[in-house]
Every structure is written in structure tokens, then in C-alpha cells.
């Protein structure tokens, strides 16, 4: 049990915690919605989050990115979306490190909102893609060189490939026997990864979000319009192909990424909605090479994610949260099947 009161005391003055509930289904951090009774008798809602400092090895650099981006967006009068504002501790830090070394942060809560669970209909998809495009456009004049890479080589597929090769070579846990066909399928992706690697060198380096799934958009409960882009932990320099690609990977299949591979079907109307929403928001800002290769980003992200899940399986499930022994292998199979299907579009 986490000591919510003790943690919150570092950030805000309040009378009492009225509600505290774990929310979201992220694979990395732990997120709580808290409702507090304030000294003036009002209630106030916040998001309290434990930042996984094993995954994000430089938490203070990460917060520096977020605070700078928040400031930039706040100053941009034309940015139409809300911002989950980071709230400093009383000691003026963006993170509170507890006695066990856990890193905690607090964000303002964006009310009357929801994050979609399960399948998202094309109207919401279009809205989400438009919001991610709006976010990218609003950050197009942010000095990208000021951003830290919050996870080194996050979408450096060549580097992930080399790590995968190392793991295959040593097979420390003896798990390669359990994943022979999946390993073969990943090895066959080398030409795709090489194509991306070459193309990336020709594309502009932009501020990218790097986790552009439906669950990272807050929607208005009543109008179903996008209210905010959240989860800024992987904001770093990159290419728009990975942001659009992760939308293709996560929105287009009719199943979550850990469903049995045989059940996946693709939703073409959703792909069209993604293209419409994203291209409308970014028109005149993306160059022609970026626009032309948006869909290739989907193949790239799906192939890379398959390799990431398989890497984690072979390493003993040390990165992504798992709820069953073969979880990462099932996710790998799902992503490989998805990639096959996307390649036929």
C-alpha cells in the first residue's frame, strides 16, 4: 500500500484524502487519481504518479523536458488543448524521491474527461489523430536540441536490433527454444529496419511524443472532443513517422496488442480517419517525404514493437508489465500478425 497522504503532503496543503484510486493501464508507471478536501472546504482532483526510474533512468531530465514543453504550449495562444500541468513540491522540485528511492510527481487533473478503453470509433480516432497533429504543430518551433532523450536510443531500431542479436547469441535464460518461429520472423524484418534507418537520415528531427495511443488522449465526456494530449515521458527528438506509426499500430487493429494473433482484423476506415485527422492538423508543416512515408511508419513501429516484446520475453520479462508467463510472447505474435496484415494493405 502506498502512503498517499505522506506523498501528497510534499506537494499540496490539504485536509484529507477523500478518494484515491489507481487508474490507467500503462505498462510502465503507476498512476493514481486522488480527490482531496482542501483547507477552504472545496475538493480538488490531482494525478499522482510514480515514475518508473528503472525505465526512465534520468527522471529529472525527463521532467525538464516536460516543464519546458508545458511552458512553450502555455505561451502559444493558438494551442487549443489543455495541459496536465506538473506541480512542484514545496521544496521546488518536480519530483519527490521517497525513502525507497521511488520518484513521485503530481499533475493537475483535467476534469470531465475520459480516456477511451477498448475499440475507438472512427470519429474519435480522427479527433485523436488531429490532437496529436496539433501537438506536433504547436511544438514545431520548439528548439528540439534542448530536449533530452528520456530513453537512450528509444527508436534507434539498429541499436535495438544489435541488442536482440546479443540476446540470441547468449540465450541466458534458455528461452529461445520457446520462440523459434517468432525469432525467425523478427530476423526477416531486417530489410524493413534497414529501409527505415536509411530514410530517417533524410527526415527532419522534430519534437515527437512517442506513445501516440488512444489512451494518451483525454476526451470530453459530453462532446467527445479531444481535450488534451497526455503522457509526455517519451517526448524527445525523433521523426513524425514513429508518432503516426504508433497510431497505426494501436488504432487500426480491432484487438489490443496482447489479444490472440488469430483474432486480429484491420479497420480501414480507422486508417483513413487517422490520415485525415493527422494530415488536416499538420497540413503545410510536414514535408512531402514525411507525408509520403506516414504509413511506412506504421510498419516500422509494429515491427520494432514486436522485436521489443520478444526481446523482453527472452530477457525474462524485465521491462513491460506482464500478467501471465507467456504475455510478452503473445504480444510478439500479435504484433507480427498485425505487421503481416498491414503489409497487405
Residues making contact with ligand GN1 (CB under 6 A) = 26-28, 55, 151, 211, 231, 234, 257, 305
Give the CA distances from residue 82 to residues 94, 157, 212, in Å, rounded to whole numbers and listed in that order.
Answer: 20, 33, 17
Three-state DSSP class for residue 151: coil
Nearer to ligand GN1, 8 or 47 (CB): 47
Q: Could you tell me which residues come within 8 angstroms of residue 274 by beta carbon, excluding any fewer than 6 positions away? A: 125, 126, 129, 244, 247, 248, 251, 252
Pick between residue 221 and residue 321 the one whose CB is nearest to Mg ion: 321
| Residue 98 phi, psi dihedral angles, 5° rounding | -85, 180
Near Mg ion by CB under 5 A, which window of 94-102, 206-214, 287-295, 305-313? 206-214
Residue whose cell numbers read 465526456? 221
Rounded to the nearest 10°, the torsion over CA 104, 107, 111, 115 is -60
In this complex, which beta carbon is closest to ligand GN1, that of residue 50 or of residue 88? 50
Total site size for Mg ion, rule CB under 5 A: 2
When the beta carbons of 133 and 238 are compared against ligand GN1, the nearer one is 238
| Residue pair 328/310 in contact by the 8 Å Cβ criterion | yes
The listed partner (ligand GN1, Mg ion, none) that binds 182, CB under 5 to 8 Å by sort, is none
27's contact among Mg ion, ligand GN1, none, with CB below 5 to 8 A by partner kind, is ligand GN1
304 binds Mg ion (CB under 5 A): no
211 near Mg ion (CB under 5 A): yes
Nearer to Mg ion, 192 or 248 (CB): 248
67 binds, among ligand GN1, Mg ion, none (CB under 5 to 8 A by kind): none
Q: How far is the CB of 86 from ligand GN1 (least distance, A)?
A: 17
Pick between residue 10 and residue 64 the one whose CB is nearest to ligand GN1: 64
Q: Is 243 in the site for Mg ion (CB under 5 A)?
A: no
Residue 257 interacts with Mg ion (CB under 5 A): yes or no: no
Tell the burial category of 180 from Cβ atoms under 10 Å away from its Cβ (0-12, 13-18, 19+). exposed
246 is a contact residue toward Mg ion (CB under 5 A): no
Q: Dihedrals φ, ψ of 130, to 5°?
A: -65, -40
Output 231 or 290, the one with its CB closest to Mg ion. 231
- The count of residues in the chain is 345
The x, y and z cell numbers of residue 25, run together, are 493501464
Environment class of 262 (CB within 10 Å of its CB; exposed 0-12, middle 13-18, buried 19+): exposed
Least CB distance from residue 302 to ligand GN1, whole Å?
10
Cβ-contact 321, 257 below 8 angstroms: no
Shortest Å, Cβ 257 to Mg ion: 13
Residue 70 backbone dihedrals phi, psi, to 5 degrees: -60, -40
In angstroms, give the least distance from the CB of 226 to ligand GN1: 18
- Residue 305 interacting entry, from ligand GN1, Mg ion, none, C-beta within 5 to 8 Å by type: ligand GN1
In the complex, which residues of this chain contact Mg ion (CB under 5 A)?
Answer: 211, 231
Amino acid at each position: 500500500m502506498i502512503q498517499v497522504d505522506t506523498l501528497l503532503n510534499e506537494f499540496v496543503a490539504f485536509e484529507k484524502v477523500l478518494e484515491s484510486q489507481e487508474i490507467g493501464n500503462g505498462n510502465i508507471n503507476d498512476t493514481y487519481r486522488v480527490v482531496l478536501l482542501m483547507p477552504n472546504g472545496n475538493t480538488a482532483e490531482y494525478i499522482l504518479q510514480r515514475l518508473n526510474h528503472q525505465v526512465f533512468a534520468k527522471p529529472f531530465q525527463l521532467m525538464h523536458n516536460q516543464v519546458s514543453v508545458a511552458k512553450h504550449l502555455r505561451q502559444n495562444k493558438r494551442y487549443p488543448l489543455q495541459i496536465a500541468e506538473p506541480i512542484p513540491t514545496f521544496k521546488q522540485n518536480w519530483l519527490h524521491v521517497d525513502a525507497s528511492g521511488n520518484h513521485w510527481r503530481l499533475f493537475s487533473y483535467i476534469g470531465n474527461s475520459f480516456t477511451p478503453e477498448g475499440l475507438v470509433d472512427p470519429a474519435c480516432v480522427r479527433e485523436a489523430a488531429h490532437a496529436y497533429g496539433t501537438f506536433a504543430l504547436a511544438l514545431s518551433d520548439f528548439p528540439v536540441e534542448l530536449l533530452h532523450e528520456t530513453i537512450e536510443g528509444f527508436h534507434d531500431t539498429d541499436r535495438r536490433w544489435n541488442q536482440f542479436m546479443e540476446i540470441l547469441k547468449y540465450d541466458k535464460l534458455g528461452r529461445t527454444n520457446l520462440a523459434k518461429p517468432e525469432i525467425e520472423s523478427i530476423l526477416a524484418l531486417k530489410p524493413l529496419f534497414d529501409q527505415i534507418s536509411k530514410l530517417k537520415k533524410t527526415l527532419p528531427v522534430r519534437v515527437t511524443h512517442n506513445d501516440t495511443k488512444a489512451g494518451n488522449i483525454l476526451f470530453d465526456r459530453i462532446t467527445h472532443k479531444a481535450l488534451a494530449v497526455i503522457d509526455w515521458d517519451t517526448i524527445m527528438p525523433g521523426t513524425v513517422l514513429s508518432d503516426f506509426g504508433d497510431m497505426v499500430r494501436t488504432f487500426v487493429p480491432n484487438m489490443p496488442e496482447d489479444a490472440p494473433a488469430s483474432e486480429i482484423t484491420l479497420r480501414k476506415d480507422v486508417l483513413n480517419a487517422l490520415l485525415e485527422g493527422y494530415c488536416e492538423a499538420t497540413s503545410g508543416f510536414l514535408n512531402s517525404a514525411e507525408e509520403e512515408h506516414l504509413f511506412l511508419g506504421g510498419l516500422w513501429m509494429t515491427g520494432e514493437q514486436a522485436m521489443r516484446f520478444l526481446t523482453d520475453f527472452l530477457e525474462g520479462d524485465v521491462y513491460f508489465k506482464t500478467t501471465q508467463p507467456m504475455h510478452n510472447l503473445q504480444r510478439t505474435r500479435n504484433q507480427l500478425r498485425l505487421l503481416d496484415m498491414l503489409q497487405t494493405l
